[in-house]
Amino acid sequence: MKKKLSFIIFVMGVTVAVSPFLFSAHVVSAHEAYVLTASEFKAGLESYTRYPFAPLFDAAHIKTFLLTALAVIFSYIFVFIWSASRLSQALDGIIKKAKIAGPLIIRLAISASFLYAAMSNSVLGPELPLSMVPYGMVVRFLLFLTGLMVLFGVLVELAAFIALIVFIFVTFTFGVYMVTYANYFGEIIVLLLFGSRYLSFDGWIFGKKLWVEKLERFKWLETPIVRVLYGVALIYAGYTIKFVHQGLTVNVYNEYHLVNFFHAAASYIAAGAGVAEISIGLFIILGFAMRWTVLISLVFITLSILYFRELLWPHFMLYGISLSLLINSGDRLTLDSKIVPWLRGLLRK
């Protein structure tokens, strides 16, 4: 059953990854980096918000803010009570049977992201055009190359090393903004250290043996590395865009007339979204109510894509990592791995 499921995931992933070579689709993109024009986005990054947290404590919104916070707190309390139940434990066991598919999902996600980025003549997102990068055509070729190598699992450690060099190289152009893509960095590190032996060319040639055998005992770190750097990316994006450069989110709010939906000031919604994104990132780093936190983030991502008609490919990594964390939830470095067993023992007394 596990092998059939993984094979289906692999076939679907290959289909998604190679589809840019079969057809080209142009969709209106969104999020601050995608909704606004390049000049608007650049101008927004050069503008700093003086009191970004003030809207949260404005008298007109403080009641809404507190009620929302209480609703979130109670939802997490309910989730932890549920997680301590026998039914939750049984479902957790069923879900974790697919844990072997977790790294495969992320591998397919990062390969598809590289291929789509190269097709769109950008690096990791449409707001990072290769036209701004020295030797951009060489970088584009390397994105194609590493994308295909990772997709089919051919010398994955070497592909990851090339990808790491590309990531570092483009950082000299885009600077600290690349922290937004720390999730890519995490996956690249994991592939560099542990490769990918499942449903891959490397697995057929080398078997399960790693290039550096001593790293085998550290394979359990795959999920924590990806999880922590994903959380870092979310926190950085939430803080810089929603608070430091709050004008970017305010511009999107105004351009799309979101006041008709939220009925609140643009600065309040921007700050609230920042709190949500930072909280989600922090909870993911800590491994706190992982599945519930990841599900909330997936709802936000999906609603954003549907409402703003965003490009899908920049979100492949977000979906890939999220699905992997849903499967491989509760690794030994999470708070969940300590809290949930304690609650289960408490309820059984």
- Predicted local distance difference test score (pLDDT) of residue 185: 94
Residue 262's alpha-carbon distances to 120, 203, 230, 269, in angstroms, are 34, 51, 28, 8
Write down the H helix ranges in the chain: 2-22, 32-35, 38-45, 62-83, 86-96, 101-119, 136-152, 156-174, 182-194, 201-206, 222-239, 246-255, 259-262, 266-286, 290-308, 316-327, 336-348
Q: 3-class SS at 129?
A: strand
- Neighbouring CB atoms inside 10 A of 59's CB total 6
Which residues sit opposite 184 in a β-bridge? none
Q: Which two tokens stand for residue 178?
A: 């690349």
Any idea what DSSP says for residue 242?
I
Q: Are 188 and 149 in contact (CB under 8 A)?
A: no
Asked whether 96 and 328 are in contact (CB, 8 A), the reply is yes
Q: Tell me the C-alpha to C-alpha distance, in Å, between residue 137 and each of 86, 116, 133, 142, 143.
A: 55, 15, 9, 9, 10
Give the tokens for residue 249.
């989110």
| Residue 257 pLDDT | 75
The predicted structure's pLDDT at residue 143? 95
On whether the CB atoms of residues 105 and 17 are closer than 8 A, the answer is no
In this prediction, residue 32 carries a pLDDT of 66
Angle, helices 136-152/101-119, rounded to nearest 10 degrees: 150
Compute the half-sphere exposure of residue 46: CA atoms within 13 Å on the CB side of its CA.
6
By three-state DSSP, how is residue 322 classified? Answer: helix
At residue 220, what is the residue type? W
Q: What is the pLDDT along the chain (349 residues), one digit of tens a residue?
A: 544 444 443 444 444 434 443 333 333 233 666 666 667 677 767 778 888 888 888 777 788 888 888 999 999 999 988 888 888 888 888 888 877 777 788 888 999 999 999 999 999 888 889 999 999 999 999 999 999 999 998 999 999 999 999 999 999 999 999 999 999 999 999 999 988 888 888 888 888 778 777 888 888 888 899 999 999 999 998 898 888 888 888 888 877 777 777 778 888 888 888 889 999 999 999 999 999 999 999 988 888 877 777 777 788 888 989 988 988 887 889 999 888 888 887 776 6
Kindly tell me the burial class for residue 66, based on how many C-beta atoms sit within 10 Å of its own C-beta (0-12, 13-18, 19 or more): exposed
What does the pLDDT read at residue 164?
A: 96
The answer to whether residues 324 and 223 touch, using CB atoms and an 8 Å cutoff, is: yes
CA–CA separation, 45 and 325 (whole Å): 31
pLDDT recorded at residue 21: 38
Are 334 and 204 in contact by the 8 Å Cβ rule? The answer is: no
Identify the pLDDT of residue 33.
62
At residue 31, the pLDDT reads 61
Residues 200 and 180: their CA atoms lie apart, in Å, by: 29
| Contact present, 227 and 320 (Cβ < 8 Å) | no
Which pair of tokens denotes residue 235? 């926190």
Contact in structure between 270 and 242 (CB atoms under 8 Å):
yes
Which pLDDT score, from 0 to 100, does residue 5 have? 45
